[in-house]
């Protein structure tokens, strides 16, 4: 089967999009390849088609986003292509079943989250899997100097060495500065440099910066950010609009003022899906909104706060106008943003003594004594930790990330831990408990659906409605079952036994702090300057120096008069 035939047969698309064919060809020729395609450019096809061109063999897909992973697996299954996923939060049994399926069944895709690559069990089985290629999605996460570094991505090169034969690796990302692109290829042990990229220019997107006055300023003329925001959206009624803000509280506040929904990671996954699907006007959100937005007709993306980096800005702003029709990316900027940026640096890089303090307090909180804890993994509720130990929340998060980079712990932010249940009383005694009809029905369905639920905690599948939750809680109160409701906790794993002292190498602290400041600085330059075409300026940051003036940004327009 040719690549084009595979595209048509399996996916029903007539043609490859620009560059997809070149990327597929490169992979099929066995070359390591770094592909830079904008969000929505169709990166998934680039590893799915080469895998399916052959009649058998497994593609190992490394991707950090569990939600997207589940989506893709569903999508493939709908097309009768066997695919499986392994991620933290699945039970050991579930993971084992997934791997065994790939080992013995006609599976074509195995999606894994990068931290799974560290598991000994997974590594042992890896050599036995019929892997024909490795795809690394969101490959910019591998770069320590990039804006979204994930330490577990560094493990990807190690698994290359564990495979019995050389297979091509395809790295995919929508954003990479020249340094990051270089870094990706090095870290993934590319046998020869090979980058396939498309211009990131977006002709239909106009970049604008609106200068506002400070929020408390009642004297000067002009609008505050909130007033400007109201003004702008009032001029675009009936349009799909995204307003990005930095924190959850502000998202809720502004949604109240604009009378529209908000979206942030504090909402339950079900609620988030519901809001995303119902969305047809303005949405105020944090950067939790974005992964998997597939609405092509977003007319306007407004940033209420200065983003952390040009990469983040470009990605988020780029969600406007995917249908090719005119669209706007507006950044609101006020004099006070300068000071806020300073504070952001301080919040992200708290003093070393503070980081050490967080290390010891976290260990104490989790009852890990000096010299112990190696390999132990804990659910961690940051709010409780901070409350008990009197730590400031924001900086504590940062400290835990720094400790991860320095190799003391592995800290992962909030994720879903599915609910678990075990039945504690023998079946034949259930009658003695005088259960309600609902309780009885639920218990019977548990026993039917989850063999072994009498002897060990079982993860519950499917949605747990409020009614089911109530019934389970009622049963647990009477000790008929053990019920661990779903929690959204962070996870901390001790990668070394607890140390008495913490040392943060320059690599893990100053160098990252510098890179962070540089990115912020570039973002401020973008906001403050009024002499260069904004599109050109952004693109030059990604190494594209030959893009023409856009003619539609505020700078270009003011030059035209």
Closest contact distance (angstroms) between CB of 53 and ligand ADP is 15
Residue with smaller CB distance to Mg ion, 43 or 519: 43
Q: Strands 487-494 and 377-380, how do they pair?
A: antiparallel
505 burial (CB, 10 Å; 0-12 / 13-18 / 19+) is: exposed
Bridge partners (DSSP) of residue 96 are none
Of the chain, the end-to-end C-alpha distance in Å amounts to: 57
Q: Rounded to an integer, what distance in angstroms lies between the CA atom of residue 183 and that of residue 356?
A: 30
Residue with tokens 């595979």: 6
Stretch of 9-17, 28-36, 207-215, 279-287 lying at the interface with ligand ADP (CB under 6 A): 9-17
Only segment of 37-45, 178-186, 284-292, 523-531 that touches Mg ion (CB under 5 A): 37-45
CA count, 13 A, side-chain hemisphere, 370: 4
Nearer to ligand ADP, 198 or 230 (CB): 198
Which residue is at the shortest CB distance from ligand ADP? 42
Closer Cβ to ligand ADP, 46 or 285, answer by number: 46
Comparing CA positions, the residue from 230, 166, 210 lying closest to residue 192 is 166
Question: What residues form DSSP beta bridges with 371?
Answer: none
Stretch that binds Mg ion, among 18-26, 43-51, 220-228, 397-405 (CB under 5 A): 43-51
Nearer to ligand ADP, 16 or 333 (CB): 16
What is the Cα–Cα distance from 257 to 277, expressed in whole angstroms? 22
Q: Mention every residue, 6+ apart, whose C-beta is less than 8 A from residue 421.
A: 446, 450, 453, 457, 458, 460, 472, 481, 482, 483, 484
Q: Which residues contact 417 (CB under 8 A, 6 or more apart)?
A: 89, 379, 486, 487, 488, 489
Of the two residues 151 and 318, which places its CB atom closer to ligand ADP in the complex? 318
16 lies in the site for ligand ADP, by CB under 6 A: yes
Among 11, 36, 43, 368, binds Mg ion (CB under 5 A): 43
The interface mask with ligand ADP, positions 31-50, x = CB under 6 A, is ------x-xxxxxxx-----
Binding partner of 225, given Mg ion, ligand ADP, none, CB within 5-8 angstroms per partner class: none
At closest approach, how far in Å is the CB of 198 from ligand ADP?
Answer: 11
Q: Report, in Å, the least distance between residue 27 CB and ligand ADP.
A: 15
Cβ density class 261-289: b for 16+ within 10 Å, e for less: bbbbebeeeeebeebbeebebbbbbbbeb
DSSP state of 369: -
**Least distance from C-beta 201 to ligand ADP, angstroms?**
16
Backbone angles phi, psi at 491, to 5 degrees: -130, 135
Under rule CB under 5 A, residue 534 binds Mg ion: no
Q: Is 264 in the site for Mg ion (CB under 5 A)?
A: no
> 218: Cβ–Cβ under 8 A, 6 or more apart, which residues?
none
Q: Residue 14 or residue 466: which is nearer to ligand ADP going by CB?
A: 14
The span of 39-47, 70-78, 384-392, 430-438 binding Mg ion (CB under 5 A) equals 39-47
Judged by beta carbon, residue 13 or residue 122, the one nearer ligand ADP is 13
Question: Which residue's CB atom is positioned nearest to Mg ion?
Answer: 43
**Distance of alpha carbon 122 from alpha carbon 214, whole angstroms:** 53
In whole angstroms, how close is the CB of 37 to ligand ADP at the nearest point? 5
Which residue lies nearer to Mg ion by CB, 41 or 57?
41
Structure tokens at 71: 């989506």
Which of residues 1, 4, 8, 17 is near ligand ADP by CB under 6 A? 17
Do the beta carbons of residue 320 and residue 329 sit within 8 Å?
Answer: yes
266 binds, among Mg ion, ligand ADP, none (CB under 5 to 8 A by kind): none
377 binds, among Mg ion, ligand ADP, none (CB under 5 to 8 A by kind): none
CB of 230 to Mg ion, least distance (A): 34
Identify which of 473, 255, 425, 224 has the alpha carbon closest to the alpha carbon of residue 333: 224
Q: CA 52 to CA 266: how far, in whole Å?
A: 39
Residues of this chain that interact with ligand ADP (CB under 6 A) are 13, 15-17, 20, 37, 39-45
Residues of this chain that interact with Mg ion (CB under 5 A) are 43
């Amino acid at each position: 089967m040719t690549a084009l035939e595979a595209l048509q047969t399996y996916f029903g698309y007539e043609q490859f999009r620009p560059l997809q064919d070149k990327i597929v060809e490169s992979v099929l020729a066995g070359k390591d390849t770094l592909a830079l395609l904008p969000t929505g450019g169709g990166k998934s096809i680039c590893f799915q088609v080469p895998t399916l061109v052959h009649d058998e063999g497994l593609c190992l897909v490394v991707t950090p986003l569990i939600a997207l992973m589940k989506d893709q697996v569903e999508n493939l299954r709908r097309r009768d292509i066997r695919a499986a996923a392994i991620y933290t939060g699945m039970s050991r049994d579930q993971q084992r079943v997934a791997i065994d399926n790939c080992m013995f069944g006609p599976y074509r895709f195995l999606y894994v989250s990068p931290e799974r690559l560290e598991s000994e069990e997974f590594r042992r089985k890896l050599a036995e899997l019929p892997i024909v290629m490795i795809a690394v999605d969101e490959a910019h996460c591998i770069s320590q100097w990039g804006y979204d570094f994930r330490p577990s991505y560094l493990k990807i090169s190690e698994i290359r060495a564990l495979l019995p034969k050389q297979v091509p690796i395809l790295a995919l990302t929508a954003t990479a500065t020249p340094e990051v692109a270089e870094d990706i290829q090095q870290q993934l042990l590319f046998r020869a440099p090979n980058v396939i990229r498309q211009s990131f220019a977006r002709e239909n997107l106009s970049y604008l910066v609106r200068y506002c006055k400070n929020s408390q300023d009642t004297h000067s003329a002009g609008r505050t950010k909130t007033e400007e925001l109201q003004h702008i959206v009032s001029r675009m009624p009936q349009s799909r609009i995204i307003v990005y803000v930095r924190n959850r509280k502000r998202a809720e506040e502004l949604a109240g003022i604009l009378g529209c929904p908000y979206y942030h990671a504090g909402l339950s996954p079900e609620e988030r899906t519901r809001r995303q699907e119902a969305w047809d006007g303005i949405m105020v959100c944090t950067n939790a909104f974005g992964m998997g937005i597939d609405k092509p007709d977003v007319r306007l993306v407004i940033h209420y706060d200065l983003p952390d980096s040009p990469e983040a800005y470009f990605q988020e702003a780029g969600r406007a106008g995917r249908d090719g029709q005119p669209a706007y990316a507006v950044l609101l900027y006020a004099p006070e943003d300068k000071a806020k940026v300073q504070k952001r640096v301080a919040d992200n890089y708290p003093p070393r003594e503070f980081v050490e303090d967080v290390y010891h307090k976290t260990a104490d909180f989790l009852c890990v004594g000096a010299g112990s804890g190696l390999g132990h993994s804990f659910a961690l509720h940051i709010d409780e930790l901070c409350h008990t130990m009197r730590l400031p929340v924001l900086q504590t998060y940062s400290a835990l990330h720094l400790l991860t980079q320095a190799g003391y712990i592995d800290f992962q932010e909030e994720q879903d831990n599915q609910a678990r249940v075990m039945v504690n009383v023998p079946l034949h005694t259930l009658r003695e408990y005088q259960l309600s009809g609902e309780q009885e029905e639920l218990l019977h369905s548990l026993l039917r659906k989850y063999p072994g639920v009498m002897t060990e905690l079982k993860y519950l599948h499917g949605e747990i409605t409020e009614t089911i939750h109530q019934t389970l809680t009622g049963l647990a109160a009477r000790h008929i079952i053990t019920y661990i409701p779903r929690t959204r906790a962070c996870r901390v794993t001790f990668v070394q036994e607890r140390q008495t002292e913490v040392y943060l190498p320059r690599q893990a602290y100053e160098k990252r702090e510098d890179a962070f400041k540089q990115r912020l600085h570039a973002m401020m330059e973008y906001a403050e300057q009024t002499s260069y075409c904004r599109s050109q300026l952004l693109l030059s940051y990604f190494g594209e120096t030959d893009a023409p003036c856009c003619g539609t940004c505020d700078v270009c327009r003011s030059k035209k008069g």
